[in-house]
Amino acid sequence: MLQPGTDAPEFSVNDHNGNNIQLKDYRGKKIVIWFYPKADTPGCTVEGQGFRDDFKKFEDKGIQIFGVSLDNENDNKAFAEKFSFPYPLLCDVNREIALGYHAVKNKDDQHAARISYVIGEDGKILESIENVDTKNHSNDLCSRY
Judge whether 44 counts as a catalytic residue.
Answer: yes
Closest CA to 144 of 126, 125, 131, 130: 126
CB 70 within 8 A of CB 92: yes
Name the burial class of residue 21, with classes exposed (0-12), middle (13-18) and buried (19+) by CB atoms within 10 angstroms of its CB: buried
Active-site annotation holder among 13, 32, 44, 99: 44
Coil/strand/helix, residue 124: strand
Exposure letters 41-66 (e unless 16+ CB within 10 A, then b): eeebbebbbbbbebbeebeeeebbbb
Q: Is 65 left (phi over 0), alpha (psi -120 to 50) or beta?
A: beta
Query: Which sequence positions are flagged as catalytic?
Result: 44
